[in-house]
Structure 1
Amino acid sequence: MNNSHTLFAPCQVGNITLKNRVIMAPLTRSRAGEERMPNDLMKEYYMQRKSAGLIISEATVISRQGCGWVHSPGIYSDEQMEAWKPITQALHEKETPIFLQLWHCGRASHSSFQENNQLPVSASAIKLNEDYIHTPIGKQPYETPRALETEEIPRIVEDYRLATERAKNAGFDGVEIHSANGYLIDQFLQSKTNHRSDKYGGSIENRYRFLKEIVEAVLTVFPANKIAVRLSPNGDFNDMGSPEYRELFTYVAQQLNNYDLAYLHIIDGLQFGFHELGEPMTLADFRQVFDGVLMGNCGYSKDSAEAKIREGNADLIAFGRPFISNPDLVERFANNWPLNPPADMQYWYSFDAEGYIDFPTYEESKKS
């Protein structure tokens, strides 16, 4: 772990030396089509942002059951695996590493995403309390999910392992296990959504078991220093937030500290929503219990990011929305160039090139 006080110093992540500490956060952009297939448009988008120290791919579903977002990419077929290869190869030619984020939406899905129109699954049969979800058949109300049977859970753990195998074969440098933002793993972790009475429910230790089993399954494919985990202790996205959040996420970080992971990715900023169940957890809280590389995320500016690194409470900072409209975000930060205006939300999840690959770099905008 390198504690240099700048975003532009190298940082060691496992056996990879990152050229800077400006990380491209995972950003769902809905450009993979109905077949959830990586494509040339996505390749251009990632290549435009190749100056990031590390790119974390958009959330990528590990199975058909895990789907819950229109036109997001997958990693559950060999065809999808092959389609990712041109993206990883092109980035590696520019010496930019990329991790694949592994995703299962759990209850944040709808029967229209599922095979045979089955109900989405979760830790418990607790409905997500928000107005609607965008589905292949338009806006729909959320449904009450089906609670997974105990004997079904090893199959999902295996889906994570198989997805990691495909990620490795596709050329990814590692994987990030998406355990945040109210998706399936988070639904097991938090008491708000986990009312189980088997070995995956009740105590914090039991609720952590699902994530533990996934980490250890993924460890059979990649060494620990190529595996990362993402957590959102403060978030209310997807109707989350549990009263024991401090005890829970402290325990999870302590357990993950035993693995020598590539990094622990904490959504510590509150701009994505805050459950307001107490004081927000900070990177300093996690630094007390996690010895490895720590990544902050959500709402950071260049100055606030550098302050967090200078304090020693973060090693890396991930930027999401600024990378949407600033493909050259690293260069803009390094040269104190102004940023492009934020992207219009109507283009975040649209299906084509507009609002995706057409943002100018600073050098291009000077010429126009």
Structure 2
Amino acid sequence: MSLDALFQPLTIGSLAVPNRIVMAPLTRARADANNIPTPMQGEYYAQRADAGLIISEATAVDPLGMGWYRAPGIWSNDMVTAWRGVTDRVHAANGRIYCQLWHMGRLVLPDYLDGDLPIGPSPIAGEGETMAPPTGTYDGGFLPMKPYVVPREMTQADIDQLIAAYGKAAANAIAAGFDGTEIHGANGYIIDQFLQSKTNQRQDRYGGSIENRTRLLGEIIEAVIAHVASGRVGLRISPTSERKGMGDANPAALTEAIGALAQRHGLAYIHLIEPIASGFMEKPDYPVMDHLRAVFTGTIIQNGSFDAQTAADYIDAGRAEAISFGRPYIANPDLVSRFRDGRELAQPNFDYAYVGDERGYTDYPVATGG
């Protein structure tokens, strides 16, 4: 069947893109130990600049939200300057790149906070464990794993500081040369923690009803669009995901509330994680795409276990306007041309997903030969 749908131009909000293949955010841990982006990241993104749109790896808006060794931030002037070097490389290669704004909330280990507790909507720990920072001399390799801890329940002052951090990060992203921003409201991080009923047990105006649980998201959107035109702002969500101890009593109703909020603020797109097959995340028993379509008229970018043909079929069927690819982009910097030419995809070496510097990061070759 035809893959033509993948290669049609599209306008996402106010941004014109040449195709409908989106590079999904991929945390790769190649910033420096102070969370400042490196020239290596500029090369990595420039190699992938023929994507219709690149969405950067998750980028922390505040030190309290940083819980991943060598992930990048965007809260300081040094970070803005370093990111400018990355975006300049992408633009020189005729690419387009948005900054994904991120705060991990309860999923930050105290090890990253000088021993302080992380913050979250309610004192409920995430399920599972995560990578702790190295101690002593570190020369690469896998990091120690530690379980999540019970976070400190956020006060109104904490919430106000969080909203302000998103606003400042949005302004910084534009100063750094990004074409727009994506608010990370998925994958069990802080906005998702407020949205889903299992992790939000608050008794104030930010908890209980769906209207209250979406309040923080609405206030963050307002803070972001004060600095970035709404037509250059997207939102990533995963309302059916139960990873890391997430869960909601009514994902369909939550999705409709989120979509209506995005519609009211004129956001460019919603980036929905709803796998069509179980893999990194489970395929939901009750998908929410139709509920999102009912209330949101902007672009929908779908994500989750797609290949070229299923992506084209989804677009042809009007199920999404674009499809984002994550893991295929690790080993295929030329993913767009591989799809177009029908070439076999290279397979990533996950031993170097988060370590290795250039190895397993910028050294994947483009396809050659007939």
Scaled to the shorter chain, the TM-score interval is: over 0.9
Partners of 2:306 and 2:282 in 1: how far apart? Answer: 16
Give the corresponding residue for 1:352.
357
Partners of 1:192 and 1:284 in 2: how far apart? Answer: 23
Native 8 Å contact 1:24 1:56 kept in 2: yes
Moved more, 196-205 or 142-151: 142-151
Alpha-carbon offset, residue 50 of structure 1: 0.9
Superposition map of 1:138-149 within 5 A? 138-149=144-155
Partners of 1:220 and 1:259 in 2: how far apart? Answer: 11
Give the corresponding residue for 1:184.
190
Q: Which amino acid aligns with 1:271?
A: G
Alpha-carbon offset, residue 351 of structure 1: 4.2
Give the corresponding residue for 2:213.
207
Q: Deviations over 1:145-165 (max 9, x none)?
A: 111012321111000000011
Alpha-carbon offset, residue 306 of structure 1: 0.5
For residues 309 and 73 of structure 1, do their structure 2 counterparts lie closer, same or farther at Cα, with a shift above 3 Å needed?
same
Alpha-carbon offset, residue 5 of structure 1: 6.3
Moved more, 183-192 or 283-292: 283-292
TM-score (norm 1): 0.94
Native 8 Å contact 2:185 2:192 kept in 1: yes
Alpha-carbon offset, residue 143 of structure 1: 0.9
Give the corresponding residue for 2:36.
37
**Which of residues 125, 128, 131 in structure 1 aligns to 2:126?**
128
| Helix, strand or coil at the partner of 1:205 | helix
Alpha-carbon offset, residue 259 of structure 1: 1.9
Partners of 1:124 and 1:231 in 2: how far apart? Answer: 20
Q: Which amino acid aligns with 1:127?
A: A
| Helix, strand or coil at the partner of 2:243 | coil
Alpha-carbon offset, residue 175 of structure 1: 0.4
Alpha-carbon offset, residue 30 of structure 1: 0.4
Q: Which amino acid aligns with 1:134?
A: M
Give the corresponding residue for 2:282.
274
Partners of 1:175 and 1:24 in 2: how far apart? Answer: 14
| Helix, strand or coil at the partner of 1:166 | helix
TM-score (norm 2): 0.93
| Helix, strand or coil at the partner of 1:136 | coil
Q: Deviations over 1:170-212 (max 9, x none)?
A: 0001000000000000000011100001110111000000000
Alpha-carbon offset, residue 233 of structure 1: 1.9
**Which of residues 358, 361, 366 in structure 1 aligns to 2:366?**
361
Native 8 Å contact 1:48 1:328 kept in 2: yes
Alpha-carbon offset, residue 359 of structure 1: 0.9
Give the corresponding residue for 2:325.
319
Moved more, 146-155 or 134-143: 134-143
Native 8 Å contact 1:234 1:274 kept in 2: no
Native 8 Å contact 1:43 1:86 kept in 2: yes
Native 8 Å contact 1:30 1:351 kept in 2: no
Give the corresponding residue for 2:141.
none
Partners of 2:266 and 2:317 in 1: how far apart? Answer: 22
Question: 1:170 and 2:176 equivalent?
Answer: yes
Partners of 1:167 and 1:238 in 2: how far apart? Answer: 28
Moved more, 190-199 or 4-13: 4-13
- Output the aligned Cα RMSD: 1.5
Identity of aligned residues (%): 40
| Helix, strand or coil at the partner of 2:105 | coil
Native 8 Å contact 1:237 1:272 kept in 2: no
Q: Number of residue pairs matched? A: 357
For residues 220 and 7 of structure 1, do their structure 2 counterparts lie closer, same or farther at Cα, with a shift above 3 Å needed?
same
Give the corresponding residue for 2:158.
152
Native 8 Å contact 1:10 1:17 kept in 2: yes
Q: Which amino acid aligns with 1:63?
A: D
Question: 1:242 and 2:277 equivalent?
Answer: no
Alpha-carbon offset, residue 14 of structure 1: 2.5
Partners of 2:356 and 2:265 in 1: how far apart? Answer: 39
Alpha-carbon offset, residue 236 of structure 1: 2.1
